[in-house]
Structure 1
Amino acid sequence: MFRLSNLIKTTLEDTKSRTLNGSIMIWNFTNRCNLSCHHCYSKADANEKDTLTYEEIEQTISRLKKGGVNFVIFSGGEPLLRKDIFDIAQCMKDNGIMTYLSTNGLYINEKNVDQIIDTFNYIGISIDGIEEIHDQFRGQKGSYKKSIEAIKLVQAHGGNAGIRFTITKETQDSFYAMFDLCEELNVDKLYISHLVYSGRGEENLEIDISKEQRREYVEFIIDKAFEYYKDNSKIDLVTGNMEMDSILLLNRFKKQYPQKAEILEKKLKAWGGNSAGNRLGNMDWAGNVKPDPFFPFTVGNYLETPFDEIWTSNENEILNKLRQSPREIRGKCSNCKYIDICNGGSRSRAYAMTGDLWQEDPSCYLTDDEIRR
């Protein structure tokens, strides 16, 4: 996760960057979902049944802190389909863990909106394009209107709601419109995710955009982040699954704010790029623990081994290699002067395309001339 707006603000104002103390876990509590999104990494659908019991979740929550986890993103499937979701969140709070909600918004209504706001520190609602594109991509007509209504409802009740958007060939025609929508709704955050090849995303490699298009979009995102900063806009821009975005921001600073470039570079190195298996992890409804939601291999099962023993283990080869800083990555990364900033990008994309976890990220849009040591 690349916190673009926060880095611009703190670098230009010489203040401390927002940092996360401890690991973030994306926990898929269910694989049930009322939608059928084309890019879904868990292949969720409405016919799935909940297999993870509250008792199993409760026992595992008590081990999260021991494993260094301070933040949990509630995900799925659709997490609001679980009837015990608020009990789970309260258990998290009782154990000193912050909770974020990632939802399609269709189950947010007048009856539960206040409880959702009181329960979760942040609410992210997925919008993947203007109405027609969103409905087609998410597999349900009318879902766009319901999701927009959910955002407005959260705001009307004093809550924090942001938009989550994934760039693909199917959604890219709405890319620029997403900024207009955020400005119109005055949301708190726009999280723009790059596609990772996993789940239905792996089956739909053809829906990914080109490197040239990706770079063009990222340049626009950076432009917008500077614009929002100058206008004192509250819209926070964040990108996900493409740590190379940080290099474009650094290059922009070298041109526009050369006196601040060294400060930013230090912040980026402290951030450390892709953090899968270190500051980021994933837990699913079957007990599997993975370095990120898209990762092709598990590193343990929390229903069989206590979570903290899995996450703090020094004996897991995959975790050990992921936690090297910088990682030892082959291909263009082996001669890249920015490896200690981006950390090689997505291992999941590398494996999906090459069968090698430690090969270069195939979506990297930086040129050989730009990265040569």
Structure 2
Amino acid sequence: MFRISQFMHELARAEATGSYPAPMRRRSEGDGPGGPVVIWNLIRRCNLTCKHCYAFSADHDYPGELSTQEVFSVMDDLKAFKVPALILSGGEPLLRPDIFEIAERAKARKFYVGLSTNGTLIDEPLAARIHNHGFDYVGISLDGIGATHDKFRRLEGAFDKSLAAVRHLQNLGTKVGLRFTMTELNAHDLPNLLQLMRDEGVAKFYFSHLNYAGRGNIHRGKDARHLATRQALDLLYQTAWDDARAGGQHEYVTGNNDADGVYLLQWVEQHLPRWADDVRQRLITWGGNSSGVNIANIDNVGEVHPDTMWWHYGLGNVKARPFSEIWVDTSDPLMAGLKAKPRPVGGRCGQCMHFAICGGNTRVRAQQVTGDAWAEDPGCYLTDEEIGLAGSGDRVETTAFSSRRRMIELVPVESE
């Protein structure tokens, strides 16, 4: 996740004081190493069949899902491993009968607990239950206004139901965020959604680039083209900057394309050049993609993945082996590569002058399009000139999905 607002607030303070602020104290300093944030898909069943669903969810039960007691046992291991936050997701997590029992246990164990939902099931009574169980954050997906969202989510009336959920939770004081995944089918609605966020007083806006997993991989041919992506980021950065200068507390974040950090540096070089060196150093500290390092995923049947977009690649199952053991095992070649510093990324990404900022970007897109997890990321929207490779030649293109997946053997990476 790339926290645009954090950088914009630092820049606003720098402009006001004449000095770039010192970095915030990191959790690991003096506290020992911490575990990753875990996005936990507790259930695969969903009442929607969204075009970009990475889980291929549908409205029926799936066998082999973790029981309540198994969830509790895994949670104890996660706590001992110093996992700071659990994002409870699905499918649609509110379809799981024990979701509030799980949330109550997580809060009692002192996790930060988020809920990731499509919002269509949240009426006033359910909103009250969510609020009373103390979720720290509820993310609700809105992928357009009205019919655009309904088409994306494949349910007429979905927009109205999700917006009603936002309002129910807002009225109770629960922190709510809007989540938007952009493709060329809905890019035109981004300005309207940002205005909706402000009109409704929503605290957070999460802009997700399309990642090539599940139905999102099938529909990757409709991914937003690079110019539209840049225009969207221009709007997001200016919106976040205006909010920071005004002393606002809105959060604007992006996900699934770590080139956003490099693009922010270019924005700073254009608009606030005196702080460019400071921002570059802060971005290098951020380090870009954190799949397999600071972000983890456990799916509905207990399989562990480097993040939610790697459902086609399992690392081990918590029914057979503790998460804490699976996560540190670098005998798996993918995990060895993801944890390596630097990662063994080749091609255009490996030669990029900003590699230290984005870390090679998202490995899933590279693997899905080329069959090689360490090839260049075809979702990078930066030009060759911008990354110091003018005249370097042809790029990997985002081709339409084919059911014939190309795979290559992953070569183990030696640990330092």
Normalising to structure 2: TM-score of the pair? 0.86
Contact persistence 1:17–1:267 (CA under 8 A): no
Matched residue, 1:336? 352
User: 1:229 and 2:236 equivalent?
Assistant: no
- How big is the shift at 1:107? 2.1
Q: 1:8 & 1:148 partners in 2: Cα distance?
A: 28
- How big is the shift at 1:112? 2.9
Matched residue, 1:5? 5
Give structure 1 stretches of 5+ with no counterpart.
none
Residue among 13, 16, 23 paired with 2:23: 16
Contact persistence 1:7–1:17 (CA under 8 A): no
Decide which moves more: 124-133 or 19-28: 19-28
Contact persistence 1:6–1:17 (CA under 8 A): no
Residue among 38, 43, 48 paired with 1:25: 38
- How big is the shift at 1:4? 0.1
1:113-148 deviation per Cα after TM superposition (whole angstroms, max 9, x unaligned): 233124211111000101001111101111111111
Q: 1:233 & 1:48 partners in 2: Cα distance?
A: 43
User: 1:315 and 2:328 equivalent?
Assistant: no
Max Rg structure? 2
Superposition pairs for residues 175-254 of structure 1, below 5 Å?
Answer: 175-254=190-269
Matched residue, 1:37? 50
- How big is the shift at 1:287? 1.1
User: 1:74 and 2:83 equivalent?
Assistant: no
Contact persistence 2:12–2:245 (CA under 8 A): no
1:295-330 deviation per Cα after TM superposition (whole angstroms, max 9, x unaligned): 131111111111111012243322121012331211
Using the aligned pairs only, state the percent identity: 37
Aligned-partner residue type, residue 38 of structure 1: K
Residue among 58, 66, 79 paired with 2:72: 58
Change (3 A) 1:168 1:179: same
Q: 2:192 & 2:152 partners in 1: Cα distance?
A: 16
User: 1:345 and 2:361 equivalent?
Assistant: yes
Q: 2:71 & 2:274 partners in 1: Cα distance?
A: 50
Matched residue, 2:125? 111
Q: 2:384 & 2:27 partners in 1: Cα distance?
A: 32
Matched residue, 1:354? 370
Matched residue, 1:153? 168
Contact persistence 2:87–2:114 (CA under 8 A): yes
Q: 1:114 & 1:19 partners in 2: Cα distance?
A: 34
Contact persistence 1:108–1:150 (CA under 8 A): yes
Matched residue, 1:305? 321
1:138-195 deviation per Cα after TM superposition (whole angstroms, max 9, x unaligned): 0111111111111111111111111000101221121221111111111101101000
- How big is the shift at 1:215? 1.4
Residue among 73, 87, 90 paired with 2:104: 90
- How big is the shift at 1:15? 4.9
Contact persistence 1:67–1:309 (CA under 8 A): no
Residue among 385, 388, 391 paired with 1:369: 385
Contact persistence 1:106–1:147 (CA under 8 A): yes
Decide which moves more: 217-226 or 309-318: 309-318
Aligned-partner residue type, residue 38 of structure 2: M
Displaced runs of 4 or more, over 4 A: 17-21
Aligned-partner residue type, residue 47 of structure 2: N
Change (3 A) 1:151 1:92: same
Contact persistence 2:136–2:174 (CA under 8 A): no
Contact persistence 2:142–2:178 (CA under 8 A): yes
SS in 1 for 2:261: helix
Computed over aligned residues only, the root mean square deviation of the Cα atoms, in angstroms, reads 1.6
Q: 1:321 & 1:172 partners in 2: Cα distance?
A: 33
Aligned-partner residue type, residue 44 of structure 1: S
- How big is the shift at 1:225? 1.2
Q: 1:12 & 1:149 partners in 2: Cα distance?
A: 34
Decide which moves more: 290-299 or 191-200: 290-299
Decide which moves more: 213-222 or 71-80: 213-222
Give structure 2 stretches of 5+ with no counterpart.
14-20, 29-33, 390-416
Change (3 A) 1:348 1:18: farther
Decide which moves more: 66-75 or 331-340: 66-75
Q: 2:47 & 2:95 partners in 1: Cα distance?
A: 9
Q: 1:93 & 1:272 partners in 2: Cα distance?
A: 30
Q: 1:262 & 1:253 partners in 2: Cα distance?
A: 10
Contact persistence 1:39–1:199 (CA under 8 A): yes
SS in 2 for 1:180: helix
- How big is the shift at 1:3? 0.3
Q: 1:36 & 1:285 partners in 2: Cα distance?
A: 17
